[in-house]
Structure 1
Amino acid sequence: MSRLWGLLTAAMIAMSASIVHATPAKATLLAGDVEVARCIRLASNGRGWLEKTLWGLRDQEAGWVGAKIRNADGSYDLGPLQINSWWVPRISVLVHRSESDVWTWLQHDACFNVYATRWIFLTELKSVQDYWKAIGHYHSRVRWRNTRYIQNVGRRLVARFGPAAFEK
């Protein structure tokens, strides 16, 4: 047992050293990833299928805390799960806060971003009653875009969790 603790301690020290000696941007990214992981765990509330889903969406979107990416249509994708700014007014009404607050939270608050993703996905799932359609609708209602998105998220799930990603 003490050998195991020794190995774990050595690994943690090595990881800490690499973070300390990393460039500031890399250290921030690592800290942000840890926070996103914590938020995904909290938002899934012990439901493994939902945790995997949120990871699949996160891996596909590949955003970061603070992200604000302009789209061709003039909207923006915000934060780690790249929530489109189109959602800001609707979420604002839902949480009874200003659009400015919601925009800031989606962009800079990892947990708010993850919980908003959870809400969008579960709302779509309830509406369409089909897991993969809800994944596609998270991204777009345009058929060819959501079909491509579904395929990409499926690949991301297999890459992260292996073929067992789809087992019950």
Structure 2
Amino acid sequence: MAGELASGPSDARVAMVTECIKAAATAHRLPPGVLMILLNVEGGKLGRVSQNTNDTVDIGPMQINQIWIPAVARHWRAGAAATRDALLNSFCANVEAGAWILRTGIDEARGDFWEGVAFYHSHSPEHKATYLRAVLRQVVKLQDVVARNTGPRPVAAAGG
């Protein structure tokens, strides 16, 4: 068991997560990387809810606020209870809902990508700014990881 934990997620799990992110991104015309960044910023976990100070909860990996349940249920043509259960227990459903909410925000912002990303979190100016700073920190962190893992690239010799 300890070796299993140390080795990280299984190839099958990585493939499932990757496919869910790609499918949600494609369906909602989003770069898959932005969903990965939001997953990291939100920091939610499958099967868990997070209590907010305004007496609502955020659900699952993309931290879908419970106020979205009726709209997501209509989007999925499902009941509210089934929608909440899917958001809580299905990674793919949670990411699809998050992607749909993000696309809704970008559309509301008349195509302004970063305003739409901010709307994913809040419409309040101070909360939007704080959220965008968190997103930017995550982008920088991921760039650092990529740079460390790829290292310097060889430069091709001039003339061939």
TM more than 0.5: yes
Which residue in 1 is equivalent to 2:3? Answer: 18
Q: Scaled by the length of structure 1, what TM-score is found? A: 0.74
- How many aligned residue pairs are there? 143
Q: Is the 8 A contact 1:65 1:107 kept in 2?
A: yes
Task: Decide whether aligned partners of structure 1 residues 81 and 47 sit closer, same or farther in structure 2, where only a CA change above 3 A counts.
Answer: closer
1:123 alignment partner, one of 100, 104, 108: 104
- Which whole-Å CA distance do the structure 2 matches of 1:59 and 1:73 have between them? 23
Give the residue type in structure 2 aligned to 1:140. Answer: S
- Which whole-Å CA distance do the structure 1 matches of 2:29 and 2:102 have between them? 15
Q: Is the 8 A contact 1:88 1:103 kept in 2?
A: yes
Asked if 1:70 is matched to 2:51, the reply is yes
- Which whole-Å CA distance do the structure 1 matches of 2:33 and 2:144 have between them? 11
The Cα of 1:17 is off from its aligned counterpart by 7.2
Alignment of 1:47-86 (within 5 A): 50-86=31-67
Q: Scaled by the length of structure 2, what TM-score is found? A: 0.77
**Partner SS state of residue 73, structure 1:** coil
Q: Is the 8 A contact 1:125 1:134 kept in 2?
A: yes
The Cα of 1:138 is off from its aligned counterpart by 0.1
Asked if 1:111 is matched to 2:104, the reply is no
- Which whole-Å CA distance do the structure 1 matches of 2:67 and 2:135 have between them? 21
- Which whole-Å CA distance do the structure 1 matches of 2:105 and 2:63 have between them? 17
Which runs of no fewer than 5 residues in structure 2 stay unpaired? Answer: 147-160
Q: Is the 8 A contact 2:46 2:89 kept in 1?
A: yes
Q: Is the 8 A contact 2:87 2:94 kept in 1?
A: yes
**Partner SS state of residue 81, structure 1:** coil
Which residue in 2 is equivalent to 1:6? Answer: none
Asked if 1:102 is matched to 2:83, the reply is yes
- Which whole-Å CA distance do the structure 2 matches of 1:153 and 1:106 have between them? 22
Which runs of no fewer than 5 residues in structure 1 stay unpaired? Answer: 1-15
* Structure 1 or 2: more helix by fraction: 1
Q: Is the 8 A contact 2:28 2:99 kept in 1?
A: no
Q: Is the 8 A contact 1:77 1:85 kept in 2?
A: yes
**Partner SS state of residue 17, structure 2:** helix
Which residue in 1 is equivalent to 2:17? Answer: 36
